[in-house]
Amino acid sequence: MYHALMAGSDYTYMLRILQRNPDRIRMDRLGEYMRQFAELLGTENFPTFKGIKQASTGLKADIPVERQHYTKLRLVEAKTNFESRPARILRSIEDLMGKDAIKEAQLLDSVGNVVYLFRGHVEEPDKVPKLQQQGIVDGIVTGIVGADDTMHLHLRDHFDQDLKLVIRNENLARDLLKQFREGHVRLTVHGTWHRTDFGWVPESNKCTVESFEVLEETPLQDVFMEIAEIPGNGWKSLDDPIFEWEKLRGLH
């Protein structure tokens, strides 16, 4: 009976991260979910990667038939023995989800049964630091929606985050629409900002676009070459000016 059930599926277990598509998760974070998922199943049980299901983000893993019983026992231990290593991995995955603001994930078996429901430890909104301010945000325009006086701008920033900003000026919206996937723009926005791992960012649909400018797309290496030609400029003496610039920006 067990082998008959397995025949219709290309995986033994799936970690399904709800309401978050693969292209909305940083690659390093996705790799960390895969690593911890493998540890939960037991690396000694030789789990192999069987692909990603696009409905939300489903990480599929296959376990050799002769090791599936041991994986099942390990998952039972994870759910019943709070002090066990498998249980600690369960909590580690939930901590990781919380940092990514992911509320729920599922561990599914080969026939779609929920073996375990993960609950991300997401910080409550009223505990997230916020402030009202005018600020600058750079990114690529990925869409504008809305048919009334209030339109919503979709922007992909440098951290690959999707931001939603409000536009209340129709002419401004038309001008921004001309920049759809044309390059980077710099927006001046005013409204509610909240603190994240990437610093202060505009809260979704709580910041209004006041103006914008199109950013120069000249490669940074070329910019520093031009600066280095200015007499008495200190950048010319540096072995790696881009690295030093990134240090000044807090990127290292």
Domain map of the chain by residue range? Answer: 2-119, 125-214, 219-252
Closest CA to 25 of 161, 128, 118, 150: 161
Per-residue pLDDT band at 127 (split at 50, 70, 90): low
Alpha-carbon gap, residue 173 to 145, rounded angstroms: 10
pLDDT averaged over every residue in the chain: 84
Strands 13-17 and 57-62: antiparallel
Q: Residue 61 pLDDT > 80, yes or no?
A: yes
Among left, alpha and beta (phi > 0; psi -120 to 50; other), residue 42 is: left
The confidence score (pLDDT) of residue 65 equals 95
Top mean-pLDDT range of 122-136, 180-194, 216-230:
180-194
Q: Residue 2 pLDDT > 80, yes or no?
A: no
Per-residue pLDDT band at 221 (split at 50, 70, 90): low
β-sheet bridge partners, residue 119: 104
Question: What's the CATH fold of domain 125-214?
Answer: OB fold (Dihydrolipoamide Acetyltransferase, E2P) (2.40.50)
Closest CA to 72 of 47, 48, 51, 98: 47
Candidate from 121-125, 140-144, 174-178, 248-252 with smallest mean pLDDT: 248-252
